[in-house]
Structure 1
Amino acid sequence: MGRKKQTKKEKIINAAWRLFKVNGYDNTTVEDIISASKTSKGTFYHYFKGKSALLNTLSMVFDNGYEEYYETVTPDMTMSDILLGSNEYLFRLIDDEVDPELLAYLYSSQIVTDDYRCLQDANRFYFRFVRETLEKGLKSGEFSIQEGTTIEDMLHIYTMYERALLYDWVLYKQGYDLVSYSQRMLRPIVAGFRDGIF
């Protein structure tokens, strides 16, 4: 899985979410997004009907973060290090660049929608990256699982943890440091993968 060149659509999405974080959604204009993404009005409207269409693209920001992190992975890293490192990288990106109110909007919209649920899309880079890391850990013997447990069970445990912690962080109005708390809570889960307790 190599890092692909950022597309014009991704440039627009990443610029929009940075601006939403700094200026707020209501105070960010389409013109601001076009300028920050170094694209054109025609390009923007080719991909999006308007600013509101960007609200369901947050998962792409997450995936771009995972792809950026993937490029920093070195052969000497353990799969445990990779899982903990990717979580730290992504949650720092979220804390720095994502407006928590819009994260809350994404979660609530995913619960009630009958349309595309980006947070459950197994084809996303996020799911492929975590699955590949878990598979490598099992193959190398770093991770183990109980009889009857599958790689999909492990994947669900990990991704459920990340979704749950983000939900909790928003619910408690960012009342704790997302990155350090997540690292502390994730370590026992990764240890559980190593010890085969799942």
Structure 2
Amino acid sequence: MPRKPLSTKSRIVKAAWNLFYKKGYDNTTVEDIINLSKTSKGTFYHYFKGKEALLNSISYLFDSKYEDLQAEISPQTSSYDTLLYLNRELFRMIETSIDVKLIAYLYSSQLITKDSQSLLDEERLYFTWLTEIAQKGLDSGEFHPSSTASELVKIYAMYERAMIYDWALCKGNYSLSEFSARLLPHVLETFQKGI
């Protein structure tokens, strides 16, 4: 399946987070982001009020990763294996391209924001795709029908947020993807057996 070109907003977000990781947030300028994303100043400010506004764009970065992964997953892959794969790839991306201090800041800001909490936005690709995967698992009998797709997605998303929070709390001193690879199968087994 051919990959869709990134939207302008996604290009800006990806460029910003790439620079935040490589140069640090404080050392990254709006001009750096504009240059790397190959946009104009007017386009940048159409989407974001400034560099600070990009700190709340982590959900766009996660969804952009999910867009990339959609092209790689075979529809024949089981729901269980799909969820394991998505988690591993997202967590690898987080630990290799996002500064743990920024993750900590973002997660703490989601607790006190007066704006919408982007990590909980059910319209995001993250939630819509996970719901499709969970429903496929329920429809095929792979997952036990004691829970709905939305309940399974809530548990899965809570698990991922908890893992990322703990990793940030521990200042990234362990491999997020490796630790999750040991724990997530236990969560998914409850999806198979029933909760």
Using structure 2 for the length normalisation, give the TM-score: 0.95
Cα deviation, residue 100, structure 1: 1.1
Cα deviation, residue 28, structure 1: 0.3
Residue 59 of structure 2: aligned partner: 59
Cα deviation, residue 65, structure 1: 0.6
SS at match of 2:26: coil
Residue 33 of structure 2: aligned partner: 33
Residue 20 of structure 1: aligned partner: 20
How far apart, CA to CA, are the structure 2 residues paired with 1:3 and 1:142?
A: 29
How far apart, CA to CA, are the structure 1 residues paired with 2:143 and 2:130?
A: 13
How far apart, CA to CA, are the structure 1 residues paired with 2:77 and 2:149?
A: 21
User: Which structure 2 residue ranges, 5 or more long, are not aligned?
Assistant: none
Using structure 1 for the length normalisation, give the TM-score: 0.94
Cα deviations by residue, 1:153-195 (Å, 9 ceiling, x for unpaired): 2111100000000000000111211111111110111111112
Cα deviation, residue 4, structure 1: 4.5
Cα deviation, residue 3, structure 1: 6.2
Residue 155 of structure 2: aligned partner: 157
How far apart, CA to CA, are the structure 2 residues paired with 1:12 and 1:108?
A: 23
Residue 121 of structure 1: aligned partner: 121
Comparing 149-158 with 167-176, greater Cα deviation is found at 149-158
Residue 166 of structure 1: aligned partner: 164
SS at match of 2:144: coil
How far apart, CA to CA, are the structure 1 residues paired with 2:68 and 2:27?
A: 28
How far apart, CA to CA, are the structure 1 residues paired with 2:112 and 2:3?
A: 33
Partner AA of 1:18 in structure 2: N
Cα deviations by residue, 1:41-90 (Å, 9 ceiling, x for unpaired): 22112211211111110110001111111111113311111000000111
Cα deviation, residue 145, structure 1: 3.4
How far apart, CA to CA, are the structure 2 residues paired with 1:57 and 1:174?
A: 21
Answer whether contact 2:134 2:149 (CA < 8 A) is retained.
yes
How far apart, CA to CA, are the structure 2 residues paired with 1:27 and 1:137?
A: 45
Q: Aligned Cα RMSD in Å?
A: 1.3
Residue 180 of structure 1: aligned partner: 178
User: Which structure 1 residue ranges, 5 or more long, are not aligned?
Assistant: none
SS at match of 1:26: coil
Residue 195 of structure 1: aligned partner: 193
Matched, 1:5 2:5: yes
Residue 110 of structure 1: aligned partner: 110
How far apart, CA to CA, are the structure 2 residues paired with 1:157 and 1:22?
A: 33
How far apart, CA to CA, are the structure 2 residues paired with 1:61 and 1:48?
A: 14
Partner AA of 2:67 in structure 1: E
Cα deviation, residue 5, structure 1: 3.0
How far apart, CA to CA, are the structure 1 residues paired with 2:132 and 2:171?
A: 33
Cα deviation, residue 38, structure 1: 1.1
Corresponding pairs, count: 194
